[in-house]
Structure 1
């Protein structure tokens, strides 16, 4: 029955550790900024998962101790802030830590070669089109596999303004998108 019950002392330690780690997390998030839990890049996602792992380990087990958990959190936040700073100040570093966004649909046509490179299936893309409330693929100006793994669907209905070309700056194969005239 030890796996179901816990002593009041053990429960108290879990509560104290959880509250302390929560306070440390809030303080570090305030210092590091909102990017701490963003999904701007794969690195951001990895840090978010790592933070969760550290929190779970420290809260639910006596080893590692609380001080080591706080230090682990601090190191993750410092690493994330350092990588974010380097990405802003070095194109080479940004290129080596990020995937580039990739055009996977243009002018209503799936770009299967680019979908294969992004490892996105037709059913994945169709699901994202449905999530974006696309009623007809001809409405889709572009779909982009983003650096985070998300898919952005840029679509319009009759009379809507065309896609601003600047939205595709830095996107692999952006030249395959051809602006279409506004239809009344």
Structure 2
């Protein structure tokens, strides 16, 4: 019986621990330099960055290939790419529109926008689950429900009568003209 896949050579364990320590420290330093945005969920590129860094971290410490140096360079290039993408998004609205999703209005007050639910691939059951999570008790409390660029759902609600929604909060939300 071949047990190679279960066991390890004891000589490799200190090397793996050293590689994990160096790789982890590098990720922490790069995150401090580039910023916490590197692991946010604000856009699709942020999400991809989180997955890619995690995958490279695991590969670098658990496999012989990539080597520690190649793994660290790959992680550093991801951070550089993330920083460059964020910089370009800040500098160019056109570029930002190219790479970023736009938030989508799912409910305008008590009205469910089924067409937008379809666009977002969200079911009414999903929507009701998010309303429950937000502790919304009835339709009259709902000011707006927005499908965010990250895939999160924001429920803007109130328990106060005649409460209005700050226009800046729904700026650039597709369908927000239905709120006026």
Provide the TM-score with structure 2 as the length reference. Answer: 0.95
Structure 1 unaligned regions, length at least 5: 179-184
The one-character-per-residue Cα deviations of 1:18-66 (angstroms, maximum 9, x if unpaired) are: 0010011011111101111011100100011000010011110011100
Does 2:23 correspond to 1:21?
yes
Work out which of the residue numbers 78, 94, 97 in structure 1 matches 2:96.
94
Quote the Cα distance in structure 1 between the aligned partners of 2:95 and 2:37.
18
Does 2:175 correspond to 1:157?
no
**Which secondary structure does the structure 1 equivalent of 2:11 belong to?**
helix
Displacement of 1:3 in angstroms is 2.2
**Which secondary structure does the structure 2 equivalent of 1:17 belong to?**
helix
Which residue of structure 2 lines up, in the alignment, with residue 182 of structure 1? none
**Which secondary structure does the structure 2 equivalent of 1:8 belong to?**
coil
Off by >4 Å, runs of 4+ in structure 1: none
Displacement of 1:118 in angstroms is 1.2
Quote the Cα distance in structure 2 between the aligned partners of 1:8 and 1:138.
65
Which residue of structure 1 lines up, in the alignment, with residue 86 of structure 2? 84
Quote the Cα distance in structure 2 between the aligned partners of 1:49 and 1:160.
43
Provide the TM-score with structure 1 as the length reference. Answer: 0.93
Which residue of structure 1 lines up, in the alignment, with residue 32 of structure 2? 30
- Which deviates the most, 15-24 or 159-168? 159-168
Which residue of structure 1 lines up, in the alignment, with residue 115 of structure 2? 113
Displacement of 1:103 in angstroms is 0.5
Quote the Cα distance in structure 2 between the aligned partners of 1:161 and 1:151.
21
Which residue of structure 1 lines up, in the alignment, with residue 176 of structure 2? 174
The one-character-per-residue Cα deviations of 1:100-148 (angstroms, maximum 9, x if unpaired) are: 1111101111100011111111111111111111111221110001111
Q: 1:160 to 1:48 in 2, by over 3 A?
A: farther
The one-character-per-residue Cα deviations of 1:72-125 (angstroms, maximum 9, x if unpaired) are: 011000000000000001011000001111111011111000111111111111
Quote the Cα distance in structure 2 between the aligned partners of 1:109 and 1:128.
15
Structure 2 unaligned regions, length at least 5: none
